[in-house]
Structures are given as structure tokens and as C-alpha cells.
Chain A
Amino acid sequence: MKFGKVFKRVVVFIAIFTLLVGSCLLSYSKSSSTIKLGVNLELSGAVAQYGQRALEGIKMATDEINKKGGILGKKIELVIFDNKSDKTEALNIATRLATKENVLAILGCTTSGATKSAAVAAMKYKIPIISPTATDDKLTLDERTGKTKAYVFRVCFNDSFQGDVMAKFALKTLKVKSVAIIYDASSDYSKGLEKNFKVAFTKGGGKIVAEEAFAKSEQEFSGILTKIKAKNPEAIFAPVYYDEAGLIIKQARELGIKVPIMGGDGFDDPKVAEKAGSKYANNVYFSTHYSGQDPDKKVQDFIKKYKQLYKNEPNAFVATSYDLVYLVADAIKRANSTTDREKLRKALEDTKNFAGVTGVITINKYHNAQKAAVIIELKNGVQVFKQKINP
């Protein structure tokens, strides 16, 4: 009896031990034959659309690279985590990816707030983090010293460029002199864009007649819109995410506000037109990273491939994330190492004239991508390419 018990325990112990060692060996052998890239995205929560579309772009590019034989003879393996559109969660995931998962670099997040938070871990553990779409100016800069953060990159333009572009567009193309602003005071993205637009627009001779702030997840805008209507602005600038964008457009039009409504790349989602209703989604303009109506062959090929895979139109989030993977792959190739984070960082810094779907990208000394912005107009809910503005 007693011997049987001891025997059983020994057997169980050996079984567990073999499993543990076996799985360690397995994962070890697996990790040494692939290049592990961490993915830290908003797959659920308030801006889930951004993360989900970005993941489509990342997966699509990864599959293409792997099918062609990978980079330096190794395939890319994605380690994907959902940060639930939450800043704290983004930081936790970045820490886990840098330490436990031991990835070469982190791809993501899509929003400025989450990326800023994840960047803290990236700086601490010296691992490159590259965002496809976070546009806040301060993202790549140290708040105190103003110096570039060594490990933080993005493959998109920043808000001061986007703010400038929209201010120029308002003054020159729309020819408006007075603008009312509605922004989300709980979002780094919204606040940054609001500030940069204001500076550029007033410098160009325009006047800001009203500045209205709201807090996260607001649904009822008719109070502030009624107030704005009484001030008769010639246009409204609302640098917000898609959920609020749709509601603001709808409620403004219902109140009889007919002036143009402008925004940033946060407007680049079909949900804006769905929420506003195609009847109301008119006279809306926003800046973004790419347009599907660009006749460039590279762009059209990308759209064709995406449509085959997902039966849908790709938006800027898909396109920048697709470029992100190719840009990182290119840097790994130049760094000539699949494990050295420091060499990869250096190679990312040296990226010049990388031809992507969203344009020709050069990483400048602030780790921002220098490339053109595109202005899109909504006509009955349909995105129409308006113009391209170079830096």
C-alpha cells in the first residue's frame, strides 16, 4: 500500500518534470529558429477598431514575408497581446514582452496614450517599440530634457505636422477665418492636435471662436454644439476618435449646423459614417496617412491583396501597420542580427527612403516618419481623396 503511494508520487513527479523540461526545450528550440516580434494592440475596448485593423495589416505583411522565406533565413513569429485600449494594460504587456516573452521588438500600440505608457517599459528594458499610428508629438521625446527617446519610433507623422496640415487646409482650401474646436480632454492625441491646430491656425490669420472640452466616452454633445452654433463659426475642428466623431457630426447636423467639420486620422474609420448616417456625413474633412484612391501601383496591389484576404476595404490603420512590419523587417536585415535589440535600434534610426504603401518614409532625428499627409473628404459617407500635402 505504502509503496504503491510512493511509487505513484514518483511517477507523477517524473511526468510533470518531463513535461516541464520538454516544453521548455520545445519553446527554446522554437524561439531560436524564429524572429519573435511582440504585438501590443487595442484589440478590445473603446478603440478596438484601430487595433483590429492594425493586426490585420501586421498579419498580412508577416505572412507575406514568411512565405518568401522570412528574414535572414528565419521566419517571423508574432506574440500577440490585447491591451484592451487601456494605458496600464499596455505597460504591463510591454513589460511582459520585453522580459518574459523575450521578443526582439514591440509593434504597437495604435493610440498615443497607450504607446506612451508602453514606451516606459521599452526604455527601461532597452527594447525598440514602433507604433504604426500614434501621432502625439511628445511620444518620442523625453518630457523633461526634450531629447529623443532612444527606443521609441513611429512609422507615421506626428500631430504638429497633422495640425499644421489641417490649419493650412482650413485657411487655403476651405477659406475659413473662424473655427470652433471640440476636443477630448482625457486623450493625449486630442489635446496635442487641438494645441497644434490652434497655433498654426491663429498664426495664419484665423480666429478660434470657441474651445469646448469633454471627457472620455461622452455621448451627449448637443449642449456644447448648441453653444457653438450661437457663435457662428465658419468651420468646426474636432480632433477626436471615431466613436465621438460619428456622434458629433450627427448631432451637429441635427441641430442645423451646416459648416465643414474637420478632424485628424482618428476619423479614418467606416464607423464614423455609419454612426453619423450617410445623409449627415457630408462636408467632413480629415487628414490621414494614406488613401485607397491613390493610383500608385504599390498601393493598388496592396488593396487587391487585402481585399482577397479580408473582403473589405483597407484603411490607414491597415496600411501603416503593413508598412510597419516591412520597415522593421528591412531594419533587421540591415542590422544583420535576429536577436540583438541594440543593432536593430541603430538600423531603425538609419532608415532612409523606405518605399511603403503609405509613402516614402525616412526616420528623422526625432524618430518620426517624414512623409506626406493625405486629406480625405466624406461625401454621403463615402471617403473621397481630396489632396496630398507634403511636409
Chain B
Amino acid sequence: MSTFVQQLINGITLGSVYALIALGYTMVYGILKFINFAHGDVFMLGAYIGFLAAVYLKLNLVGCLIAAMVFCALCGIIVEKIAYKPLRNSPKISILITAIGVSLFLENFMQLIMGADSRVFPRLIEEKNYHFLHGNIVVNNKQVYLLIITIILMIVLNYIVKNTKIGKAMRAVSQDMDAAKLMGIDIDKTISYTFAIGSSLAGAAGVLVGLYYNTINPLMGVLPGIKAFIAAVFGGIGVIPGALLGGFSLGIIETFVSGYGSSMYKDAVAFAILVLILLFKPAGLLGKSLKEKV
């Protein structure tokens, strides 16, 4: 029983990471209907900004989080303006290929300037372990931070989308871009905001992951990026609570696969889930299946 609870805690921790990255995927998809494959690498950029802020500016956790979120937001806007905006009226496949190009560019650029070797992330907080049930269940404070920050960011995001003017604009653009334009909504500005918010969440995730595993490298965004994409599809891509549900489910499933089966199968199971979801409920768990507009 205690092993089960411990595995659940491990799974929730991993799930928080996936959920944070998945939120960015889902937002961009929800509004532009395309998958930003460079999102996982923005997550890696966030980790490096956190690392630089902690080592050279001696900032604390909150400072590093803010630095990474601001920088990644800017990065998101720049990437959108340079790489995606000129292709907005091109076929979806062109944007998808460009996104892969941006992803490879970011990975190799970071390897060039920061080196390909992994780095040790500084210890920003005093590590503490909490023991329950005679030490059979251990929770450390970094896990708590990870979960709490994920939930706070998710609540803030939900508030922005539901209750603010820019959120209303986002929802309008997601329904019908042309009609929104006719109603006087600035499409470019709305899309920039979307990228800024999505990327800043990835940046926050980068810092938190750096803190949790205390190791970062230029290719750290590849696998979590794909996993977060699966999580977004699992929960229903374009649906914000879906990303959270998908992220936590995937984290827990993976941990149980390695805890009760073998660690070798966990990636295979993650991809099998993607295939099954696409086969039986293409819109995801919380997604509504829409008929294609003609």
C-alpha cells in the first residue's frame, strides 16, 4: 500500500511537468489549430535562463522563474513573428515543417553556445524531506513546489482566458479568425499574447524541472516535448483543463509502468496511448468532436 502511494506521488510530480508544457501546446493549438513543435525547446530555453539567472545574477527561485517566463514569452513572440506569421495563410503542413525547423535550430544553437554537455542546476531552495507512515512514504519540498506552482499557473491561465479582454479575444479568434477581425479584434496582437503566455508556461516548467532533477542539457526538451504533446492530445487538444488532466494521467501511467512493469516499456506505453486515443476518441478525453465546417 505504501509503495502504491509513493508511486502515485512520483507520478503526480512527473505529471505536473507534462501538464505545464502541455498547457502551451494546447493554447497555441486551440487558437491557431497548429502544433508548435518548438514548444519543448522553449522549455529547454527556460531551464537555461533559470540556470544563468541563478548562477550569474544570483536570483532566488521566484526571480529565476520570472526571468525565465519573461524571456521565454519574448522568445515565443519572436519565433511566431519570424517563423510562423509569414506562413499564416499557407497550408498547415508548411507551418508544421517550419516548427520542426525552429525546434532543431534552438537545440543546435544552444549546443553551440552553451556546449552539448549537461550542467548541474544550482540548488535554489533548501531541500527538505517529509516522512509519513514510519518513513515509508517520502515527499520532498521540491515536489510540493512543482505541484503548487503548476496548479497556480493553471488557475491564472484559466482566469486570463475566461475573464479578461485578451482572453475573450483569444476565444473569439479560436472560433473564427476572419469574423473576429471583422469585429475589430487585433489578430496579430492576440496571437502574440497566446504565444507569450504559452511560452512563459514552458519557461516556468523548464526552471522547475531544472530544480527538481538539478541537471539540464540542450536536448532536455525533446522527449518531454513529445510527452506533453501526447498529454495534450490525451486530454483533448485545445482544452485547458484537458492538458492538466492529460499531463497528470500520463505521468501517473508512466510511473506505474516503470514501478510495476519495466522502465523499458514506459515510452512505448505513452505512444500506444496516443495511438489508441487517436483511434477511438480523436478529440481527446475532454474534447468535443466538431464536425468539419464546409
Contact = CB atoms under 8 A, between A and B. Distances in A.
A222 B120 contact: no
A196 B207 CA distance: 40
Interface in B1-56: 3, 6-7, 10-11, 13-14
A246 B216 CA distance: 13
Interface string A240-273: 0001001100100011100000000000000100
Given A223-B259, A226-B10, A254 B111 contact: no
A72 interface: no
Contacts of A79: none
Contact of B6 (A44, A48, A226, A246): A226
A214 B264 contact: yes
B127 A277 contact: yes
Contacts of A255: 6, 138
A230 interface: yes
B130 to A, nearest CB: 11
A340 interface: no
A226 B7 contact: yes
A48 B135 CA distance: 38
B123 A227 contact: no
A292 to B, nearest CB: 21
Contact of B117 (A48, A212, A230, A256): A48
Given A213-B263, A226-B10, A256-B135, A247 B117 contact: no
Interface residues of A, number: 36
A218 B264 CA distance: 10
B37 to A, nearest CB: 19
A345 interface: no
A219 interface: yes
B215 A224 contact: no
Nearest to A251: B213
Contacts of B264: 185, 213-215
A186 to B, nearest CB: 9
A82 to B, nearest CB: 9
Interface string B94-120: 000000000000000001000111101
Contacts of A223: 7, 10-11, 254-259, 263, 266
A252 B119 CA distance: 20
A149 interface: no
A218 B225 CA distance: 14
B118 A224 contact: no
B140 interface: yes
Contact of B140 (A45, A49, A254): A254
Contacts of A45: 116-117
A274 B116 contact: no
Contacts of A308: none
Contacts of A229: 3, 6
A154 interface: no
Most buried by A among B115, B138, B220, B256: B138
B127 to A, nearest CB: 7
Interface in B241-269: 254-260, 262-264, 266-267
A150 B258 CA distance: 42
A305 to B, nearest CB: 25
Contacts of B215: 219, 243, 246-247, 275
Contacts of B115: 44, 48
Nearest to A255: B138
B117 A224 contact: no
A27 interface: no
A289 interface: no
Contacts of A49: 117
A284 B123 CA distance: 21
Contacts of A217: 219, 223
Given A45-B116, A48-B117, A277-B127, A247 B10 contact: no
Contact of A247 (B111, B127, B129, B213): B213
The 8 A-B pairs with the shortest beta carbon distances in the complex, nearest first, are A223-B258, A44-B116, A48-B117, A222-B10, A214-B263, A223-B259, A223-B255, A274-B120
30 contacts: A44-B116, A44-B117, A48-B116, A49-B117, A212-B262, A213-B264, A214-B258, A214-B264, A215-B267, A217-B223, A219-B220, A220-B258, A222-B13, A223-B254, A223-B257, A223-B258, A224-B258, A224-B263, A226-B3, A226-B7, A226-B10, A227-B260, A243-B215, A247-B213, A254-B138, A254-B140, A256-B138, A275-B120, A275-B214, A277-B214
Given A85-B116, A213-B262, A227-B259, 6 more contacts: A219-B215, A223-B255, A246-B215, A256-B135, A274-B120, A279-B127
Interface of B: 3, 6-7, 10-11, 13-14, 111, 115-118, 120, 123, 127, 129, 131, 135, 138, 140, 213-215, 219-220, 223, 254-260, 262-264, 266-267
